Amino acid sequence: MKIAIDTRRREISVEDCGNVCKLPLYSKRAFEILSQLWLKVGWDQKYPYTFAWLGRPIIQAPEDMVRAQEVIYRAKPDVLVETGVAHGGSLIFYASLFKAIGRGRVIGVDIEIRAKNRCAIETHELSPLITLIEGSSIDPAVVRRVKSLIKPGETVMVVLDSDHSKNHVLAELDAYHVLVTPGSYIVATDGSMKDLHDVPRGRPEWVSDNPAAAAAEFARAHPEFKIEQPAWPFNESDLSENVTHWPCAWLRRS
């Protein structure tokens, strides 16, 4: 694809497979095209690695965090299970939302929680709302441990952000979807890998080996889950698509 921007003529020209499409620069479609390119370049430049939440690196695109906040505030789950801890920024983020709402807690699972990160999480002001479990997220013993921490009648949301290979995400979906309560979500993050296969830090196999492919396969086998972008609670624009590294990620249980 070749993209040309003419700011004087306020026009964007997109050439793909010999076909040329010219659009007004200040249009919804131009914004979508440029946003997708911005996401690719930003990811390759590690733009998501430039943010922290209440002192901990979060490694997420800001819009994905704001959209997650919108869903959490509306659904108000009692428990949010997240696979993939890293520096703990996402756990702290979710815990801070629960603190503000006045209900909810977080369970974080990672195959390895480094001592420095564990110490930072466990000594954080929001640590009373966080439980850490070390081990593979698809280890049956770990899954049983997570399930044992959820009380009868509690509402649950799950965010999958560990190993992003298709097979691993499928295994996580199989293991954790039973925890998700009707009206809530299991989220297979970082499906943008399918669009990042051709950037310098990407890998060719990501075209098919990615969380979005896992989510699609899972949804076909589990009709009680539907892939849908959660509705925006506020929108005074003509825009309708998230600027996201989590495309096709939100699986809502009916």
Mean pLDDT by 10 residues, the chain (254 residues): 95 92 97 98 98 98 98 98 98 98 98 98 98 98 98 98 98 98 98 98 98 98 98 98 98 98
Q: Is 231 exposed, middle or buried (0-12, 13-18, 19+ CB in 10 A)?
A: exposed
d(CA 163, CA 175): 14
Give the pTM.
Answer: 0.97
Tokens of 163: 């190993």
DSSP state of 161: -
Domains of the chain: 2-44 (no CATH), 52-253 (3.40.50.150)
d(CA 227, CA 221): 12
d(CA 78, CA 63): 23
The per-residue pLDDT for 120 is 98
Question: What is the DSSP annotation of 75-115?
Answer: H--SEEEEE--TTSHHHHHHHHHHHHHT--EEEEEES---H
The per-residue pLDDT for 1 is 86
The per-residue pLDDT for 234 is 98
**Tokens 């922290």 correspond to what residue?**
52
